[in-house]
Amino acid sequence: MITRWIQRKGYSRLLIFFNGWGMDSRIADYLQSNTSGFDSDILLCYDYRSTVLPADVLGTVAGYDERMVVAWSLGVWAASQAGLHGIDRALAINGTVDPVSSEEGIPPGIFRATLDNYDEGNRKRFMRRMCGGKTSLFERFLDIAPLRTTSDQKEELALILQSIEKRNEEEVIQSWSYTEALIGGRDMIFPPVAQAFAWRGIKHTVVDEMAHFPFFDFSNWQRVCTCMEG
């Protein structure tokens, strides 16, 4: 797992942002560019070929008075595997902790087909679906799309699936749980019905017109964090 400080000013509160599969720092940089006066340090996590945060990072996280998680897409699952403790609030956006599932995530056949057929052409199709199939949103997304190779992303997805299948055979005890979930009503990656079922036990909000990519609707850190208020 790769980590990077997006904002580190010595605040007592930490926001840990788990990005989606195949991403890099560009989405977090976009959110930061639209943000001012946000009184939290911000740690970005991405690239889940390794699922546990390094010990030194976990030690730094533990030193904060308040710790929040915001996770998007497969980052929702990755955050639950990262070895974190003492999380006060956690928001899941367009993802679940059981991401390869007919009932609570992406149907296994579709997940496997995405991996098996992933190439440059299918990467563009996938990104378009992330944007709800809308050309205008897809073209906006290209400005902040990850600068990673197709083979690099495919390797990450293969190792994510391997980790999920391994953990499905084990009993994993979590020390924290998600407190809120945000669901895009037009999500074409994680079916909204499956998300709602997965989060039936906690507060969840459906944004009817929102696609899988949520950060044109919630375009800065303050707007994202309002979903954890109240």
Cα maximum dimension of the chain: 46
Confidence at residue 229, expressed as pLDDT on a 0 to 100 scale: 74
How many angstroms separate the CA atoms of 27 and 129, rounded?
Answer: 17
Contact 127, 107 (CB under 8 A): no
Cβ of 27: how many Cβ atoms within 10 Å?
21
Number of domains observed in the structure of the chain: 1
Domain residue limits at 13:
2-228
pTM of the full predicted structure?
0.96
* Per-residue pLDDT at 104: 98
Pairing of strands 13-18, 41-46: parallel
Closest by CA to 184, choosing from 72, 76, 75, 70, is 72
Residues near 98 by Cβ (< 8 Å), separated by ≥ 6?
77, 104, 105, 198
What confidence score (pLDDT) does residue 179 get?
97
Low-confidence spans in the chain with pLDDT less than 50: none
Instruction: Give the integer Cα–Cα distance in Å for 23 and 156.
Output: 10
Looking at residue 174, its pLDDT comes to 78
**Domain CATH code at residue 125:** 3.40.50.1820
What pLDDT is stored for residue 230 in this prediction?
55
